[in-house]
Amino acid sequence: MRIFGVVGYKNTGKTGLMERLVTEITTRGFSVSTIKHAHHSFDVDHAGKDSHRHRVAGASQVLLSSQSRWALMSELRGAAEPDLQTLLTKLDPVDLVLIEGYKRDTHPKIETYRSETKGELLAPQDPTIMAVAADCDVAVKQPTFDLDDTKAIADFVLAQVSL
């Protein structure tokens, strides 16, 4: 599977770009899956639901299935968080996996940047960042894109992964 990441600091447009890229790339006929890294605890089921009750009771994994989708939840129960390579093995084969976050990993990435955040860019110090998508001019050696130019960014990503 080919992989490409979207990284950047909080509130720089990562999730919006991910959403637009998935739509644009799947519209072109490619299959896409995503991985999103969260820096905090999260829950995909809710108190009182059967799956939540199974998990709270001590189940290591809970697989929830319906005619629309299925989801496998795995509780780490104090074990180390799996690395990105391990998580990639959990996905069914697709043309492209878009990864939001995991900015310290070595896969190719595009950085998002918004002027209102006034943060520092990651790109100047990170050779795995292949381009920057921003809402303003940025001075970097990598190619730059308007953050809202989804078509051009998708063209770039697909070229980078040879699709």
pLDDT tens digits, 92-101: 999 999 999 9
Split at pLDDT 50, 70, 90, the class of 141 is very high
Question: Picking from 42-46, 107-111, 137-141, which range would have the lowest pLDDT averaged per residue?
Answer: 42-46
Compute and round to an integer the Cα radius of gyration of the chain.
18
* Residue 13 pLDDT: 97
CATH architecture label of 2-42+81-160? 3-Layer(aba) Sandwich (3.40)
Tell me how far apart the alpha carbons of residues 11 and 43 are, in angstroms, rounded to a whole number. 21
- Whether residue 147 contacts residue 136, with contact meaning beta carbons closer than 8 Å, is answered with no
* Residue 46 pLDDT: 80
pTM here? Answer: 0.91
Split at pLDDT 50, 70, 90, the class of 41 is low
Averaged over 69-91, what is the pLDDT? Answer: 92
Averaged over 78-86, what is the pLDDT? Answer: 94
Split at pLDDT 50, 70, 90, the class of 40 is low
Strands 96-100 and 32-36: parallel
- Extended strands (E) in the chain: 2-7, 32-36, 61-65, 70-74, 96-100, 109-113, 129-134, 144-146
The more confidently predicted of residues 44 and 71 is: 71
* Residue 42 pLDDT: 66
Question: Picking from 39-43, 73-77, 108-112, which range would have the lowest pLDDT averaged per residue?
Answer: 39-43
